[in-house]
Homo-oligomer: A and B are copies of this chain.
Amino acid sequence: MPAGCLMNITARILALVTLLVCLPALAGSPRGSPTKDKDTPPFAQILSESKGWEWRKPDPENLLVMRLPSGRVVMELDPAYAPLHVANIKTLVREHYFDGLAIVRVQDDFVAQWDDPEAEDGGDRHKIRSLGSAKASLPPEFTQPIGGTRPWVRLPDGDFYAPEVGFSEDFPAARDPGANETWLVHCYGTLAVARDNPPDSGNGSALYAAIGQAPRRLDRNLTVVGRIVEGMDNLSALPRGRGPLGFYVHPKDRTLILDIRVAADLPPAQRPDMEILRTDSPTFQRLLEATRNRHDAFYVTPPGKVDICAVPAPVRDSP
């Protein structure tokens, strides 16, 4: 579907997700051929045919807006999967804990991580920022019991790592019915809580986003708190750190965090005004099917399956 990917779309889909969801032709010259009658519709066309009720506005209480010199990163938190950590992170944000801290680590094909630089080895321990009224230690929230009323949109294709995968609202997740456990999985753009060795050593003052191939081996070993819904490339395109584990060697290489705010606390004009496609909507199911069984002038062998990290729920500016 080379050329016309973004052409017929009526809503202005945010750049991040539009690019992610377009199944691109890797053409040297992306001119493309005329669409044939039996072709799988391009993603942009499927999205342009969506109905207003298929989109939901995220709760501004669950959106964090991080301002970096290069632009903003918007994170959606999921209190259903990590209530204690989400509450603690919001306390930290509301007490301006993160303002003036930095992206301290960018490890290629793995994670971008932000933290108090003084908390790293070699920092001045006397300068470590106080956590204020936030807790220093929390019980891990690696999994939750299955249950509750939030819809579960199962992905019938299966998974390599988990007995069952699907979407809980727009978050990619997994389930083990035998163990009565469910957890958010590590896909590109997943937001989670860094920690030290003890499982209860995370508190949300150090966070990371996955910037490479889905690091699924981390599932159930770290507390996932949400995902990046705007501005992902402000993290993924940062220079990689040259130290062990991708930490920056020189403080000057770090990226300053201007501030992080809960969207609900921002003046209305500054709040992200976005909508997220419901994963239980017919349109999202059409997107999955268009990835799974693609028939057009470009694809020769459709994969026949779609994996849990292949189609992030699209995000758009509110019409």
Contact = CB atoms under 8 A, between A and B. Distances in A.
A26 B222 contact: yes
Interface stretch (A51-59, A86-94, A110-118): A110-118
Contacts of A60: none
A297 B297 CA distance: 51
A271 interface: no
Contacts of A299: 221
Contact of A26 (B120, B194, B236, B301): B194
Contact of A205 (B28, B108, B121, B140): B28
Interface stretch (A72-80, A157-165, A251-259, A276-284): A157-165
A24 B246 CA distance: 10
A161 B305 contact: yes
A145 to B, nearest CB: 16
Contacts of A30: 120-121, 244-245, 247
A214 B310 CA distance: 9
Nearest to A30: B245
B233 A108 contact: yes
Contacts of A31: 121, 196
A303 B239 contact: no
Contacts of A206: 26-28
A208 B214 CA distance: 20
Interface in A212-267: 212-214, 216-222, 232-233, 236-240, 242, 244-247
A195 B28 contact: yes
A19 interface: yes
A: contact size bracket = 35 or more
Contact of A25 (B5, B197, B237, B300): B197
Contacts of A294: 217
A187 interface: yes
A29 to B, nearest CB: 5
Contacts of A310: 213, 217
B220 A24 contact: no
A217 B157 CA distance: 14
Interface string A145-167: 00000000000001111000000
A237 B103 CA distance: 15
Most central of A25, A216, A242 by chain B CB within 10 Å: A25
Given A23-B217, A32-B197, A214-B214, 14 more contacts: A2-B197, A2-B245, A24-B110, A25-B196, A25-B245, A26-B194, A29-B121, A31-B121, A160-B305, A197-B298, A213-B310, A216-B303, A237-B237, A237-B238
Q: Which 6 A-B pairs have the closest CB atoms?
A: A28-B206, A26-B194, A220-B301, A197-B297, A217-B303, A27-B196
